[in-house]
């Protein structure tokens, strides 16, 4: 089997590596950093060189291979082309995750909530015994101000509104005791994931850490969708702060739940009229 690989980029040191998978015959497996630290490349292109185009030809025995195009500097765009010559038909495909969401379900009643949390809620909610998005923003801003391990300017009102919308079961536009308890539990879980995934202790999250964080939160998605998420929620340095991390998780959970309601037979497809599409688009 002969293989021709070509990179075409604007002078950013392109490179290609070929690895042999540890478990043959398996697809849809995301390769972690540990795989590349513990496995040597079967073949690789020449040393990183400052050219617009790099072309390499390899002759390999029949088998399964993992092809990894990369650049010396991260997050650079370029065009990649592969051409395979074989005596018999060769199957190849991208190694990627399928879409999956394992969402935690809360089956509780107000009687299950302890007295300490009830007193806290009564103090925060005031006379109407409900918490609006604006009140929620003030509460969470005070909570985050006490955290030195998470860099944040507080939650935006947009994030607070979508959190309220996700849990507002009675349509009041506010959170009652049970709804606020569920949200509080979710935020604590989000904080735990954020701290554990932030291995460099920067107080923020880069695009690589974001993928791991989403998996910890129960979401598996293909690379294309991860790229869309990073483009939507990261800043110009591809950094995601805690506010945008939470906003992303809440929006994903909301969209998955809506899709599940509209697809009770689990067909993987739904039909929407124009008004429904517009409503979901502004979530």
E strands within the chain? 2-8, 14-19, 43-44, 53-59, 66-71, 79-85, 100-101, 205-206, 219-220, 239-240
**What is the tens place of the pLDDT at every residue in 130-142?**
999 999 999 888 8
**What is the tens place of the pLDDT at every residue in 181-215?**
999 999 999 999 998 988 778 888 888 889 889 99
Instruction: Give me the pLDDT at residue 10, please.
Output: 43
Q: Is the dihedral of CA 258, 262, 264, 269 positive or negative?
A: negative
Domains of the chain: which residue ranges?
Answer: 2-95, 101-281
Instruction: Give me the pLDDT at residue 214, please.
Output: 93
Tokens 């690379």 map to which residue?
Answer: 223
171: left (phi over 0), alpha (psi -120 to 50) or beta: left
Instruction: Give me the pLDDT at residue 89, please.
Output: 79
Alpha-carbon distances, residue 13 vs 51, 76, 174, 268 (angstroms): 6, 10, 53, 41
Instruction: Give me the pLDDT at residue 30, please.
Output: 67
Torsion of CA 19, 20, 22, 28, to 10 degrees: 70
25: left (phi over 0), alpha (psi -120 to 50) or beta: left
Domain 101-281 CATH superfamily: EF-hand (1.10.238.10)
Instruction: Give me the pLDDT at residue 5, please.
Output: 52
CA dist 69 and 51 (Å) reads 15
Q: In the numeric block, which tokens belong to residue 193?
A: 């994931």
CA dist 172 and 176 (Å) reads 9
Residues of the chain falling short of pLDDT 70: 1-30, 47-52, 74-78, 92-95, 149, 283
pTM as predicted: 0.73
Residues 6+ apart with CB under 8 A from 272: 262, 280
Tokens 């500097």 map to which residue?
Answer: 73
């Amino acid at each position: 089997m002969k293989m021709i690989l070509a990179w075409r980029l604007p002078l950013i040191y392109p490179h290609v590596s070929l690895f042999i998978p540890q478990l043959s015959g398996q697809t849809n497996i995301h390769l972690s950093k540990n795989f590349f630290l513990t496995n040597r490349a079967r073949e690789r292109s020449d040393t990183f060189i400052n050219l617009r185009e790099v072309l390499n030809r390899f002759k390999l025995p029949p088998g399964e291979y993992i092809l990894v195009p990369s650049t010396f500097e991260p997050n650079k765009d370029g065009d990649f082309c592969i051409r395979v010559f074989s005596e018999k038909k060769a199957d190849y495909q991208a190694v990627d995750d399928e879409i999956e969401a394992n969402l935690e379900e809360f089956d509780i009643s107000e009687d299950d909530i302890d007295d300490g949390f009830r007193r806290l809620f009564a103090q925060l909610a005031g006379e109407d015994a409900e918490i609006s998005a604006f009140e929620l923003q003030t509460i969470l801003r005070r909570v985050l101000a006490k955290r030195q391990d998470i860099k944040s300017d507080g939650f935006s009102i947009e994030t607070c509104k979508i959190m309220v919308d996700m849990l507002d079961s009675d349509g009041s536009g506010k959170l009652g005791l049970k709804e606020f308890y569920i949200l509080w539990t979710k935020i604590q879980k989000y904080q735990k994931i954020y701290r554990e995934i932030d291995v460099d202790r920067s107080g923020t999250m880069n695009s690589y850490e974001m993928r791991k964080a989403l998996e910890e939160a129960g979401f598996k998605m293909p690379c294309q969708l991860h790229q869309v998420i990073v483009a939507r929620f990261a800043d110009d340095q591809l950094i995601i702060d805690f506010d945008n991390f939470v906003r992303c998780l809440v929006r994903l959970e909301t969209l998955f739940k809506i899709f599940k309601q509209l697809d009770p037979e689990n067909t993987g497809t739904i039909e929407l009229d124009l008004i429904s599409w517009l409503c979901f688009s502004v979530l």
